[in-house]
Amino acid sequence: MLKAKIISTGSYVPSRRLTNGELEQMVDTSDKWIMERTGIRERRIAAEGENTSDLAYEAAVLALSRAGISASSLDIIIVATITGDMPIPATACFLQNRLNATQAAAFDINAACSGFLFGLSTANAYIKSGMYKRILLVGAEALSRFTDWEDRNTCVLFGDGAGAVILEAADGQSGILSVDIHSDGSYWELLNLPGGGSKYPPSEEAAANRLHYIKMKGNETFKVAVRTLEKLVIDALEKNGLKSSDIALLVPHQANLRIISATATRLGIGMDKVMVNLDKCGNTSAASIPIALDEAATSGRIKENDTIILEAFGGGLTWASAVIRW
């Protein structure tokens, strides 16, 4: 049966590190407070003039190089992001142009922190249908541009970066076994960026009210996330006739170490089977899973025929999972 298979990965994070110690000088916080509540030690911050499409480009070039293919062979380019270069055009179009991927259509997906998996669902459907054979999927964010550096509860969380995968049509046992995506817009107020759209267009009033920065109700989001992610992974396992013990590696969205640990505990999975790079990168939204996946793949934590699960939870609210045989 035809499957969509990830044939290569790539990632990129900016060189600038913003440590908890530096944040102590900016807002009323401490390294201890941040570590206890999030598990983050540092996060990467894009340089001045370094845009989301620049981050995406670096990750994409690496993935293409590792696959040994040219950008001109791509059918589709999908970029998952909530921090695109501009409202118009899609960041994927900037990426397509820079890669000189002249044969590829390009578009963005906005599903917040679940965006990469929503993109994976789209790519999987395209390939399984036979419509397209080779797809570049990138999760890329420059969240630092939309972070309120005066809000001690949110400014400690976010970082910048990009991760990419190349997917191809393939026969055999390896490939994506399932992708499931979900949304519940009734929870939109838990995590949002109100300014810049038609509801609160750019204005002096919107700027004064700091509406162009990310807003989050952390405690409420935490409770919904833990409950939702446990069921999400259990449902994904049951759908594929698998047990928790069959998981070689869980690659979660890197939002909060307490959420990741709570989900693993409820599933009966040891943390040795969970990919965590949150301490180094912070929450990079749609980029977090592909960055973590690339690190796991290139460091030898994923081996051929391993069953891995990707899972995410984000603004919308949205949540998603994918089961992959590597």
**Catalytic-role residue among 20, 51, 113, 155:** 113
d(CA 294, CA 8): 9
Nearest C-alpha neighbor of 226 from the set 258, 179, 274, 202: 258
Length of the chain: 326
Token pair in block for residue 305 = 């025929």
Q: What b/e sequence results for 86-105 when a residue is b if at least 16 CB atoms lie within 10 Å of its CB, and e otherwise?
A: eeeebbbbbbbeebebeebe
At position 95, the amino acid (one-letter code) is: L
Residue 212 designated active-site: no
Burial of 190 (0-12, 13-18, 19+ CB in 10 A): buried
Residue 113 designated active-site: yes
Beta carbons of 290 and 9 less than 8 angstroms apart: yes
Residue 182 designated active-site: no
Query: How many other C-beta atoms lie within 10 A of the C-beta of residue 231?
Result: 13
**Catalytic-role residue among 93, 253, 256, 281:** 253
For 268, phi then psi, to 5°, come to 75, 30
Beta carbons of 275 and 249 less than 8 angstroms apart: yes
d(CA 268, CA 253): 18
Torsion angle of alpha carbons 59, 62, 67, 69, nearest 10°? 100
Ordered DSSP codes for 204-253: HHHHHTTTTS-EE-HHHHHHHHHHHHHHHHHHHHHHTT--GGG-SEEEE-
Nearest C-alpha neighbor of 294 from the set 137, 155, 170, 173: 137
Q: Which residues are catalytic?
A: 113, 253, 283
